[in-house]
Structure 1
Amino acid sequence: MNWIFYSKIFLLILESIAFVTALCTFKYHNAVFRLFFFDLLFIFLLEHAGMIVGEISPNSRFTHSISNLFLLAEIPIIYLCALKLIPSHFFQRLASVSIALFLVLWVKNAYESKFFILPTFPTMPFLFGSIFALIIFLVILIRMIGRDNIFKQPLFYFSLGMLIFYGCTIPYIGVVNYFVKKDNNILLKLVQILFVSNYIRYSLFAISYIVLARQQKARKLQETIATA
């Protein structure tokens, strides 16, 4: 369908803008945003390669592996960020158990799909990973609510983007197999919602890196003035 093709093109453009923004502001990144940057880099390369291969050979097994590889990159990075951003020992232990369970589900799915030869969507690892990511960023966002100037915090925009995206993937994954068999029109509407959530996510990513760069520049200027 033409609208899907153009939606993918627009998504790739927004991903590219977010990636270039992150790259141009790399020197201002702290440890957490560097982790996010490498996540963005992997997704950027994977999505562009998937788009090219998908257009050349729609039935290529590489197109079936994108969701699996995307999960393997993003969910562990979210876990590492949670360890840095959420100091609660109980929460960190819970996150460690969750990431271990996620990896078991991912390996199980990879084995059942004969390591991505079969066109199977990673329903269980994607659903579990989405719930895990949603909880992590919800906790991060709640912890930020009491702070002053929350809209000047780069992590606010990044967390909001993740919440919107994963908040939309959970209901989609929950019903996708049902509507594939029952009602294609509803499935296409759900896909449209996913595209929109991704548009918002990458736009917020770009904003977060811009805010981070401005924040770091202002801090360095204050330090320069203080030592002058």
Structure 2
Amino acid sequence: MGRWVCRLGPALLLALTAVLAIRPDWNEQLFLLGHQSARLLPAVFWRLVSVFGDWKTVIALLFPLAWQQPQRLPALLAGTALAILLALLLKGGFAVPRPPLVLPVGTVQLLDALPGNGSFPSGHAMASALLATAWSAHPKVGRWGAGSLAMVAGLVALSRLAIGVHWPLDVLAGALVGWGVMRLALRHAAPQGWPEEVAQRLLALLSAVLLLAVVFTAVKDWPRHHEEYWLRLVIGTGVALGGLLRFRR
């Protein structure tokens, strides 16, 4: 399963992306099908799943990989930075309106706040695909592990349709970009890594930065939040404190 995902998954993503780009009516119909079908599960489920496409959470979940494979740190940093930059540029460049702004009133049942930026591509799908690709490169993950990671990334992509903030084309393109960027980074961004002492010092510094970012976000979002607030807080705080304790001097 994992081997099939790694070899044929990106090709399938590319083919579906091309089809939906050519047929915008299919893109809309597929959104309606996914959005309405997702109502079979509670809104809290989709919001919690979507956390694993939130950039701060994804970055936090890359830390344990860097702890185990410090030689991957340059690739993880380069891949994440490039993906975020591409997300910002593509969203601003295409400026695609989100489904609730296009479809008739009452068609979309929003399960969370509507973001104010462009819809294409999905940053959550990009981040979750990047995370799955990075962890799939770990030698202990194996084929089934890679398949499971791909399934989680797929659920994150589906959650963006369920919540009502993205078109299918958005999540397909986002997943494709996230996969491609991390694959390139793993292959070309200092594949031999940095000296161990440099990597450890940098990971300790980044852990402190992550903790500050988690605290700032927690305070900023405190007055209005859903259930996923606590999941983000637990993951971010746990990883940041774990990094500080691991690399303390």
Tell me which interval the TM-score lies in, with the shorter structure as reference length: 0.3 to 0.5
TM-score relative to the length of structure 2? 0.32
**Greater share of residues in helix:** 1
Which structure ranks higher in relative contact order (CA pairs < 8 Å, sequence separation ≥ 6)?
A: 2
